[in-house]
Amino acid sequence: MAYNYIVTTDFRLLPGNPIVMVDGTVPGWTAKKGDLHFDHHKPGGHDIQLTEIPSNTRVNDQAVFVTTQLDADACAAAAWLQLLAMGLEPGSLQESRRVLMAIAYDCDHLGLPLGSDWDGYRDFAKRAVAALKQRGNELALKMGFQLARRETWSESHRFMYNSEAFREGTEALVSACLGHSEFPGVGGEADEYFQTMENLRPKVYAACSLYKGCAIFDQRGFEDYIDPRLLVDWARKNATREITLTVRSGSNLPNTVPDWPSFSYTLGSVPLHSNGSPRFSDRGIWARLQLLEVSIREEKKVGMPETAWGGRNEVGGSSWRDPAIASPKEIIDIVLGLD
C-alpha cells in the first residue's frame, strides 16, 4: 500500500484524507471521523509512541501519515501501524515489534531500558537510528538541497524534505521487518555518521557550559547536525543536574521577532541520571515556560506567540514556528524553580 506522508506543524497543510497522526499533535488540528491520533507527548504518556498503539488498530488505505517532527520514533510508529494493517499472523510480528521498539527507545531516550532483555539490541538500535539520519543527508542532496539546512532552506524546502524523509524512513523499516531488505545500519552505513560525530566532539564541548549545575549547549553557528549524545556525554562528565538545554538561533523561524534576540530551545535530560527523570510534563514545565514567554513579550511590547512550548517528560522545546525571547538562564531558572 502506498501511503502519503506529511511532516508539519501547520494544520492548514493537512488534506481531507483520513489522518494518522503519530508522535505529536499539529497545533489547531481537530480529529474527524476516521482519523487516528497517537501522541505520547503528554502527562502520563508512554516512553515511546509505539507502545500506545493498540494491536487491533487498522489504518485506512487512503490514510496520510502525519507527524510534527521527523525522527526515527515517528517512523517506527508508522511502520508498526502499517504492519498491523497487513493482517499478518500475530506471532510473526513479535520480533518486528521488539526491533521497532528498540529503535524508538534509542531515538527518544538515547539508549535502551536497563535489563539484559535488551542487550542484543543496543548496538543495533544505535546504528539504525544513526543510519536513518545519514540517509537523510543523502536524500537532501538527491533532492538538490544543500546540507547547511538552517542557513539555506526555506520553509517549503523543510516541508518537502521532512515529508519525503518520513516516507523513506518508514518504508525502509517496513521492508526490513518483512525480510525484503536489511535494517538501516546493519551494513555499516552509519560508520561515517559516527566518525563525523567524533570529529565534532571538541567543537561541541567548547560550546558547552554550566548554569546552576545544568548543561547548556550553544549551537548557534554550527552548520552540521549535532547528535544530542554529544551534549549528554559532556553533561555526564560535568553537570550535577539531569537537565540539559540546547540553544539555537530563532531568527529563521516563521513568526520572527524583529529587534530582539531570539532563540529556539530543546530542553532535554540526561538519561539514567541519578536524579531520575525530570518529569517535565508531569510538573507542568511546558505551561510555565509558555507563561514566561508571554510575560516577557508583554513587558517588551512584542507580539504574542501563535504556538507554544511542548514535549514529554524527558525532552521537549520551544515552538517550531515562534522564536523564544526568554534567555537561556531564565529558562533554567523556571525549570529549577519547580523543584
Instruction: State whether 248 and 173 are in the same domain.
Output: no
Residue after which a domain boundary falls, among 144, 162, 177: 177
For 244-296, the pLDDT digits (tens) are: 999 999 988 888 888 889 999 999 999 988 888 899 998 999 999 999 999 99
Q: Answer whether residue 231 is part of any domain.
A: yes
Secondary structure element (H or E) that encloses residue 97, with its range:
helix 90-109
Q: Answer whether residue 275 is part of any domain.
A: yes
* Residue type (1 letter), 334: I
Residue 253: predicted pLDDT: 83
**Considering only 5-14, 87-96, 212-221, which range has the smallest mean pLDDT?**
87-96
Instruction: State whether 104 and 173 are in the same domain.
Output: yes
Buried b (16+ CB within 10 A) or exposed e, 112-126: beeeeebeebeebbb
Residue after which a domain boundary falls, among 177, 211, 240: 177
Angle formed by the axes of helices 122-142 and 155-177, to 10°? 140
Q: Which domain holds residue 307?
A: 200-336
- Give the start-end residues of each E strand in the chain: 4-7, 19-22, 36-38, 64-67, 208-211, 214-218, 243-249, 263-269, 310-311, 316-317
Q: Answer whether residue 194 is part of any domain.
A: no
The total of structural domains in the chain comes to: 2
Residue 150: predicted pLDDT: 64
Instruction: State whether 141 and 52 are in the same domain.
Output: yes
Please provide the size of the chain in residues: 339
Q: What angle do CA 157, 158, 161 make, to 5 degrees?
A: 80
Instruction: State whether 154 and 212 are in the same domain.
Output: no
Specify whether the CB–CB gap between 255 and 289 falls below 8 A.
no
Instruction: State whether 78 and 221 are in the same domain.
Output: no
Model-level pTM?
0.87
Mean per-residue pLDDT of the chain: 91
Instruction: State whether 308 and 225 are in the same domain.
Output: yes
Residue 105: predicted pLDDT: 94
* Residue 121 confidence class, pLDDT cut points 50, 70, 90: very high
